[in-house]
Amino acid sequence: MSPQTKTVKDYIRTIADFPHEGILFRDVTTLFADPRGFRMAIDQMLHPWAGQQIDKIVGLEARGFILGGAIAHQLSKGFVPIRKKGKLPGQTISQAYSLEYGEAVMEMHEDAIAPGEKVLIVDDLLATGGTCGAGIKLIERVGGEIVGCSFIVDLPELGGRKLLEDLGMNVHVLCEFEGA
């Protein structure tokens, strides 16, 4: 396939039985490693928000940091990481969310987003929407206004897009894969 006809999805590798048996892992590191594919993904993640005011880019741990940094650079805007509990050094606010088995907690620096700032949330994969949902609550708690959420991959069977749209979010994805 020539580079001109490749889509973002063509750059993503699927690895069977990782991290557990029965899982089809959608590996975006092959997309990140290819300069043409990576640029295509960043450009396409930004396209729906062209002309809108965006003050900060929020990246969700961990691959969202790679995307968020590149997007923030492209727009000359600030980048804010939302991380797993205990990873940020300053004063933080926390938000718990449910996992298949148990609970996880995400954190953000309490002074990372000012009230009224317009925020774009980015990550590589939308599955159940739990991590992004926690991020939305953190941003809204400090008064940030979310313009949208942008992902490379959606796993529609897991219902994350519906969860985020039910929260009033404008969701943009570059491609979908069936199966978990």
Active site residues: 63, 100
3-state DSSP call for residue 50? coil
Distances (CA, A) of 47 to 41, 63, 75, 160, 172: 10, 20, 12, 21, 10
- State phi, psi for 141 to the nearest 5 degrees: -65, -30
